[in-house]
Amino acid sequence: MTSRATVIVNPAAGRGRGARALPAVREAFAAVGITDIRVTASKADERTIAARAIDEGATTVVAVGGDGTWSNVANALLSAGAGDRVRLGLIAAGTGNDFAKTVGAPASDFAATARLVAEGAETRVDVGHIEDQYFLNIAGFGFDIAVLEDIPSIPWLKGDAVYIYSALRQLVGYGGVDIDITSPAGRRGATRHLMLILANAKNFGGAFRIAPHASLTDGALDAISIHDASAWRRLKLFGAAARGTHIGQQEVVTEAASAFTIHFAVPPAYETDGEYRQASSADVEVRCVPGALRVVAPAPPSR
C-alpha cells in the first residue's frame, strides 16, 4: 500500500500554508516509507497530477491543502471512475479545512495521517454533484458568493478569520436573491434568500456548523435555506450558525433529500467547497452520490 501512495501538495493553499507545511509533510510520510511527493505549480495541476498518479497505479492519493484542494483531487478520482479503487487522504493546509471535521480525519496531524495511509485505514462517504462537479462539503448560493468575492480584498487575515471578517462586512449590504426549490416533496415557490446551502457535511466557512444534522453516509444532502432578514436578524443568525443553533429559527427552512433542482431568474454564481463557479443554466440540479468515495480516516464519520 505505501509504495503506491502519492502525496500532492498545493503550496498556495492557506495563503502559503501549504508551502510552509511541505518539509514536515515530507518527513512524516518518509517515516512510513512514502516518498512520492508532488508539488503543484497552478490550481489546474491538482487534477492533472492526481489523474497521472491514478494512471501510474496509485492506490492512495493524499491531498495537502484545504477544502478546494481536497475537492479538486476528489474530482480527479471520481471523474476517472477510481472512487472504488483509490483512497483520498487529507492533510490540512488550507483556510477552513471543513470536510476533515465531519469525516473525522486527523488532517492537522501529519504523522497520524501518514500512519493511517500506511495501515490502509478508510471510510466510505457520499459526495454531492452539481453540473459537472463533485463536491465533498457543500454547494452554496447567495450570501456565500458575496463573501467569496470579498475575501481577496482581505490579504492581512488568515485561516477562519478571513471568512468571518468578510461575512460580517457583507451582512448589512448584501441584497439577497430569489430562489425556488424543487425536491421530492414538491416545488416551494420563489422566496428571497440570504443564502442557500446544499450540505453533504456539517461544517463550512471554517467556523460555522451550517448543517448540524448532515451525515456523510445517509445518501442525502441537507438543504439549508436561510431566508432574507433585517440586519439585526442577520447578525443573530450569523452568530447562531457558528453554534448550529440557527436550525429551527423562523428564517431557516431545512430539508434532506437525495436530489434538488434549484431555480433562479438567471444562471447564478455558486461555490463548491470554497471554489467560485458560474452556472450554465438558471435551473441547477444538485444530487447526492451515495458511497462514492473512500477517504483515509480512522473510523466511520459522525452522524
Cα separation values, 128 from 107, 136, 189, Å: 21, 6, 24
Task: Identify the DSSP state of 208.
Answer: B
Q: What is the pLDDT of residue 3?
A: 55
Q: Given this model, what pLDDT does residue 112 score?
A: 97
Q: Distance from CA of residue 28 to its chain's centroid?
A: 25
Position 300 confidence tier, pLDDT thresholds 50, 70, 90: low
pLDDT beyond 70 at 224: yes
Residue 14 has pLDDT above 70, yes or no: yes
Q: What is the pLDDT of residue 302?
A: 47
Orientation of helix 45-55 relative to helix 67-79, angle to 10°: 40
What is the pLDDT at residue 236? 93
Write down all domains in the chain, each with its CATH number in brackets: 2-121 (3.40.50.10330), 135-291 (2.60.200.40)
Joined together, the cell numbers standing for residue 108 give 492537522
Task: Specify whether the CB–CB gap between 18 and 97 falls below 8 A.
Answer: no
Q: Using alpha carbons only, what angle is made at residue 28 by residues 23 and 137, rounded to the nearest 5 degrees?
A: 90
**Which segment, 136-140, 158-162, 204-208, is predicted with the most confidence on average?**
136-140
Q: Is the pLDDT of residue 163 over 80?
A: no
**Which pLDDT tens digit goes with each residue over 68-121?**
999 999 999 999 999 999 999 999 998 889 999 999 999 999 999 999 999 999
- Pick the residue with more confidence: 142 or 147? 142
